Copies of this chain bind each other. A is one copy, B any other.
Amino acid sequence: MTTEQLHKIRHSLSHLLAMAVLEKFPQAKLGIGPVIENGFYYDFDLPEKISETDLPKLEKHIKRLISQNLSFRQLNKTPAEARNLLGRQKFKLELVTELEKAKKPITFYESGQFLDLCSGPHVISTKEIPADGFRLTHLAGAYWRGSEKNKMLTRIYGVAFENKKILGAYLAQQAEAKKRDHRILGQNLDLFAFSELVGKGLPLLTPKGSVIRRELERFIVDEEVKRGYQHVFTPPLAKTELYKTSGHYPYYKDTMYPPMRVDEEELILRPMTCPHHFMLFASRPRSYKELPLRYAEISPQFRYEKSGELTGLMRVRMFTLVDAHIFCTADQVEKEIENVLRFIDSSNKILGLKKGLDYRYRLSLGDRQDQKKYYKDDRAWEYAENVLRKILKKTKAPFYEAPAEAAFYGPKIDVQVKKINGQEETAFTVQYDFVMPKRFNLRYIDNRGKEREPIVIHRASIGCLERTIAFLIEHYAGAFPLWLSPVQVAIIPVGKAHKSFAKKLFQEFLRSQIRVELYGDNETVGYKIRAAEKQKVPYILVIGEKEKNTGKLMIRIRGKKALKVMAKLEFLKDLIERIKMKK
């Protein structure tokens, strides 16, 4: 089926939905009913409240209408005719007045007894609509024309696909995504919180959420140090002038926080780390012997996002990028980028993301015609794009090309991670920069004593910690691998008599730097086991008479029915080893 046909089906379904609603509530006033991603909606001013339990009845009604093989027919009307036809449909009348003012044609679509102000397109007959390919999904409140000054209408959402099978797959994925939604899991597992008094898009990580962040931080810093990166700490704000010098300012100013006047300086929160690292590079003379010089930072950054776009940890107004800038010679650039890609592959693997399945690469190219957005140097662009393409091919990376998606200073490779709802999101990037070194007049002395300009590679190894945590919550549905689990072992004493033994065990695990939680003795064992399971703790140890006497442990492994018996020291050793191996 073509996307045009699917679009017509969805649009026609929104009209059938309006017909069904009008039969139930003849006094209903109609808003608009457009096609959206995966489906459609229609807004209504209803005489009484309806709930989601009413949706199946409406669905049945729509199916009945489909089976009547109704034809859709377009009609052109004058404003006066339109007003006459619409009668008391006040929202539609508003639209007619606007069309009239704008001198636009006024068209209606007729289906059966129903006439709707609409510019189409629609199916010719409801015969074309697969009756088992759609579903009304949910209700929401929506202000007429999106303005809170207007009346709140009832919006009914639906999805529609080519057939029952595709619809089923979509609904199953949505159900799974909902179960894995990091905002819901984040609250249930007590990983992060928001506060009205702190502000929008500014998450507070709880102790448990902070464990995950700390483990990720230490993991990536250690890995980067091993790979010859030098971690630094630079301030998360600077004079506005710095971002004007870098050329970032015009591109970023709309998403930057307002500037702050401090004495004679105008300071602003940073939306990126690059110019800070350039300042460090420029803080003393550099020799070719120091290159490649790789500055890395766990870098707090600030960007304004519209409040409607803020989404848990996925989209926030302050984020922490695992950022780096590699200063190198032209000869070194290929090897460095290749190493970055291999590094991303290896760290993604540790995070549990499979290449090709959970993520793929996008080669984001410049646009030679767009001199407003992109720095003009066709040869440099051509060269840099070819270097990136060559490396992607060499490393057999699954990738596709996207024109006009580059940064203003050079082409880039984006790591596109697939979210649980099926959408792709850019998680990490590797960027080739031949512009900034010029702007900041960065220099090194080559082996003949001559001043040369380095090339800069911008890269984020595991992206923004906040977003990566959101990805991981959804990827693992909260059941983190051992090394990332906020609580690794839960110890549950059966009764009072086992408390002191359980406590000794707890202390022993603690000393071995295992994150362990000891449950109190006020509730039943069953209740405590369920509580630990809800928290998705990888290992649960119930400590009763047998354990106390034999010293052997009965281990409940997350997701497995059978218990495993193990000697304490053996279990501890195994845990320590697997935590070290990041399993």
Residues of A within 8 A of B (CB): 190, 193, 195, 197-200, 202-207, 209-211, 213-214, 218, 221, 226, 230-239, 241-242, 245, 257-258, 260-263, 265, 267, 269, 275-276, 279-280, 282-284, 289, 295, 300, 304, 307, 317-318, 510, 520
Contact = CB atoms under 8 A, between A and B. Distances in A.
Nearest to A318: B235
Contacts of A211: 231
A230 B207 contact: yes
Contact of A197 (B239, B260, B317): B239
A291 to B, nearest CB: 13
17 contacts: A193-B283, A193-B284, A195-B280, A195-B283, A197-B238, A198-B234, A198-B238, A198-B242, A199-B235, A199-B238, A200-B265, A202-B238, A204-B233, A204-B283, A207-B230, A257-B262, A260-B269
Contacts of A280: 193, 195, 204, 206
A527 to B, nearest CB: 15
A107 B193 CA distance: 68
Contact of A237 (B199, B206, B510): B199
Contact of A267 (B193, B199, B205, B231): B199
- This chain: copies in complex: 2
A210 B439 CA distance: 27
A210 B231 contact: yes
Contact of A232 (B204, B239, B283, B295): B204
Contact of A520 (B232, B258, B289): B289
A260 B318 CA distance: 14
Closest 7 CB pairs of A and B: A207-B230, A193-B283, A195-B279, A202-B235, A205-B233, A198-B238, A258-B260
A276 B195 CA distance: 9
A207 B277 CA distance: 11
A110 B512 CA distance: 77
Contacts of A282: 195
Contact of A206 (B195, B283, B289): B283
B197 A242 contact: yes
